[in-house]
Amino acid sequence: MKNKILNIIGIIAVIAAIIFAIFEQRMEKMLGNFNLNALENAEQNVNSGVANAREKTENLVLISDKTYMNFVRPLMDIDAELNEITSPIFHLNSVNNSDETQKIVDAILPVLSDYSSDMARHLGVYNGILDVKKNDYEKLDFAQKRVVDDSIKSFEIAGVNLPSDKQTKLKEIDAKLAKLSNDYSNNVIAANKKNKITITDEKLLGEMPESDKAAAKTDDGWEFSLLAPSYIPFMEYVIDRNLRNEMYKNYVTRAPENEKIIPQILAMRNEKAKILGFKNYAELVFQFRDAKTPGRADKYLSEIATLAKPVAEKEFNELKDFSKIDLQPWDIAFYSRILKKEKYDLDESETKPYFEMNATIDGTMSVISEMFGIEFHKREAKIWDKNVRYFDVVRDGKVVAGLYLDLQTRESKQSGAWANDFASHHLDAKNQEHLAQAVVVGNFPVGTDENPSLLSLNDVNTLFHEMGHAVHQMLSTTNELDGSGFDVDWDVVEFPSQFLESFWLNPTVLKKIGKHYKTGETISDDLINKIIAADRFEKGMWLVRQLEFGLFDLELHQLNGADEEKVQSILDNVRNKVAVINIPEYNKFQNTFTHIFSGGYAAGYYSYLWAESLSADAYMAFDGNPFNRELAYKYRDTVLALGGSKDMSDIYRQFLGRDPKPESLLKYYGLK
C-alpha cells in the first residue's frame, strides 16, 4: 500500500511538473507576441472591445455580494483586455506614423474617450467599490487597499456624484481634449519632417564627426532635418552662422497651427476643473501627486531657481566672453562645444567611437543585470521594424518580463525617447499571473556599413534613463494591475529612470560600456575623467531651462484659461525670472511643448526635478559603487518591486530607513 501511494504521489508530481512546464512555456510564448496586425480592422476591433467591456462591466455591477476578488479584480481585467487591443495601435502610430495611422487614431479616439468618460463616472461601479470597502476592506493587503481607496478617490474627483447634465458636459470635454491633444502631437510630428536644409560644401560642416556626416549624406550633399539626431550636430558643427540661424528659426517656429490649439486645450481643462469643484486644472491633477499641492511644487522650483540662476549667469557670461561675438541662441551649441573642448580637451568626435550603439546597448544591459540580478535573453519575436530587438528578462532562472528595444531614428517615428508598457505584472481574477512587457523607443542615429551608429554622450545618458523606466516596469512584483510597474504618482515616475541615469558616468560603468568600435580598446581613465569633469559643464544653464519649462507649466495651469497673448506673456515672464539667454520674439516653444499639451505632463513637468530629489539621494547612498549588491537588491525589492502599491514616501523609507536628504540634490548638481 505504501509503495502504491508513493507511486500515485510520484505520478501526480510528474503530471504537476508537466502542467507547470506547459504553463511556464505558455507564459513565455505570450511575451514578445506583439500584434503586428493591430491596424487591420482597428476601428471595428476597438468598437467591439469597448462594447464587450461595457457588457462585462454591467454584468459585474449586478453581483449582489461584491468582494475584491469577484468585483475589483475583474474590473481591472477588463482594462487589461481592452489595453491589448488599443496599446499596439497607439504604439504603431508613434513609431511608424503615417496618414493611415493618424486616420485610425482619429477614428478610435472618440470611442475610447466616450468609454473612458462613462467608466470614470459609472455610478454602479463606484457604489460597488464602496460596498467592497464596507464589507471586504479589512481582509485586503496593503496593495489591494490602495487600489480601493484610489479608485473611490478617482471616481469622486471625476464627478461621479454630479448631476447628469454636468457629467454629460465632462464627457464632451474629455472627447474634445483627446482630439485636440492628438492634433497637437500630429502637427509636431509633421513639422519635424519639413524644413530640411541641404549643404553642398563639406567645408561648412566643420569638424562634424564622420558618423553624423554619413547619416546626413544624400546624392545632393548633406541633408539635415529638425529631428534631434540631425538638428543637434548641425547646430554644434556647421560653421556658417547664417545657416545655424536659419535652422534654429525653423526649429523654434515649428507647428504654428498649435498656437491656436493651446488656448482651446487650456479652456477645456479649466472648464473641467471648475465643474469638478477645483479652482484650476493644477489643483485637480495634484489630487494624485506626491507634492500634494501646486504651491508646494512652485515653491520647490523657485528655491532651486534662486540657487541655480547665478551659476547659469556665470556660465553664460563665460561663454559670451569666449565667443567674442554678440552671442545668440543659434550660437550656443556651436560655441559651447568648442569651449568644452578647450576647457576639458573633450570633443564628442573623441568619445563617440567608444559608444557604438549595439555595443553600448549590450554594455548597459550588462550593468543592469549585475546591479539587479537579472539576465536579458535575446530571441525571435514579432516586431514592427527590422531594427527592433526583443529580450526575455530572466530572474533566478525564470522569465519574469519581456523587453522591446526600438532605438534608431526614422522619419515616421515621433521625436525624442520614451519607455512604455505593453503589459504590467499582475494576477487576474482567476489568480493567473500575467508578466510585464516594456518597450524603449529612441531616435539614435542610423549606422551604415562604413560608419556604424555612434552615440553621443547625451544618447548614452538617454539610454540609461529610459532603461530605468523599463526596469521599473519589468521588475514590479505587485499582484494588482493598478499600481504595478511605473503606475505611480506622476511626480515620482521619473525617480527610477533618473536613478539609473545617474550611474552611467560612474568610472566602473563607463569601463563596462565604453569600447572602441574599431580596436575593442576600453575607454581610458584619462578620457573618463574628462567626461565626468565635463558633465557639469553649463549644468546651471541646463537647470534653469528645466525650471523655465516647469514654472511655465505650473503657472499656465493655475489660471482660468489663457489666450495666445496670455500664454506668450506667461512664458516671457517666467523667462525674465529664470532664463539667462535672450530669446527672440519669434521663438514659439509652446507650440512644440508636447509634454504638457499631448504627453500627460500638464501641471506636472516639475516632476522631473521633484523626482530627482529622490534619485539624487538614492544615488548618493551608493557612495560611488553601483554594484553594492545588498543596496541594489534592496532598491530592486522595494522601489522597483512595489511600484505604486504604496506611497513612494513609504517605499523610500523601506528602502533606506529614512526620508531623502534635501541637500543631496544640491550636491548632485554642484550647487552646494
Look at residue 224 and give its three-state secondary structure.
Answer: strand
Burial of 160 (C-beta count, 10 Å sphere; 0-12/13-18/19+): middle
Q: Which grid cell is 35? A: 500584434
**SS3 sequence, 10-54?**
HHHHHHHHHHHHHHHHHHHHHCCCCCCCCCCCHHHHHHHHHHHHH
| Helices 607-621, 495-502: crossing angle, 10 deg rounding | 50
pLDDT level of residue 359 (50, 70, 90 thresholds):
very high
- Sequence-separated (6 or more) residues with CB below 8 Å from residue 415: 188, 189, 192, 227, 228, 443
State percent of the chain over pLDDT 90. Answer: 80
- Does this chain's domain 37-188 share its CATH topology with 352-539+607-668? no
Which member of 236, 348, 356, 466 is catalytic? 466
Which amino acid, residue 492? Answer: V
- pLDDT mean over 137-159: 95
Cα dist from 498 to 146, 228, 301, 495, 619, whole Å: 26, 21, 17, 5, 9
Give the sheet arrangement for strand 221-224, strand by strand.
197-199, 221-224, 217-218
- Sequence-separated (6 or more) residues with CB below 8 Å from residue 630: none
Domain ranges of the chain: 37-188, 196-252, 352-539+607-668
Distance CA 132, CA 138 (A): 10
pLDDT the model gives residue 30: 66
Look at residue 422 and give its three-state secondary structure.
Answer: strand
Place of cell 541655480: 308
Burial of 132 (C-beta count, 10 Å sphere; 0-12/13-18/19+): buried
282-321 per-residue burial string, b: 16 or more CB within 10 A, e: under 16: bbbbbebbbbeebeebbebbeebbeebbebbeebbeebbe
Fold of 352-539+607-668: Neurolysin; domain 3 (1.10.1370)
pLDDT the model gives residue 671: 65
Distance CA 339, CA 325 (A): 14
Backbone angles phi, psi at 453, to 5 degrees: -70, 115
Q: Which grid cell is 516? A: 572602441
- pLDDT mean over 406-411: 93
Look at residue 399 and give its three-state secondary structure.
Answer: strand
Q: Is the pLDDT of residue 26 over 70?
A: no
Look at residue 382 and give its three-state secondary structure.
Answer: coil
Q: Which helix (H) or strand (E) holds 251?
A: helix 241-252
Place of cell 554619413: 214
**SS3 sequence, 137-182?**
HHHCCHHHHHHHHHHHHHHHHHCCCCCHHHHHHHHHHHHHHHHHHH
Which amino acid, residue 168? Answer: T
- Assess whether 24 carries a catalytic annotation: no
Q: Which grid cell is 133? A: 470597502
With respect to CATH, is domain 37-188 assigned 3.30.499?
Answer: no
pLDDT digits (tens, 9 = 90+) for 423-480: 999 999 999 999 999 999 999 999 888 889 999 999 999 999 999 999 999 999 999 9
pLDDT digits (tens, 9 = 90+) for 308-338: 899 999 999 999 999 999 999 999 999 999 9
Which amino acid, residue 455? Answer: L
pLDDT digits (tens, 9 = 90+) for 586-622: 999 999 999 999 988 999 999 989 998 899 999 999 9
Of 642, 639, 577, the closest CA to residue 614 belongs to 639
pLDDT level of residue 553 (50, 70, 90 thresholds):
very high
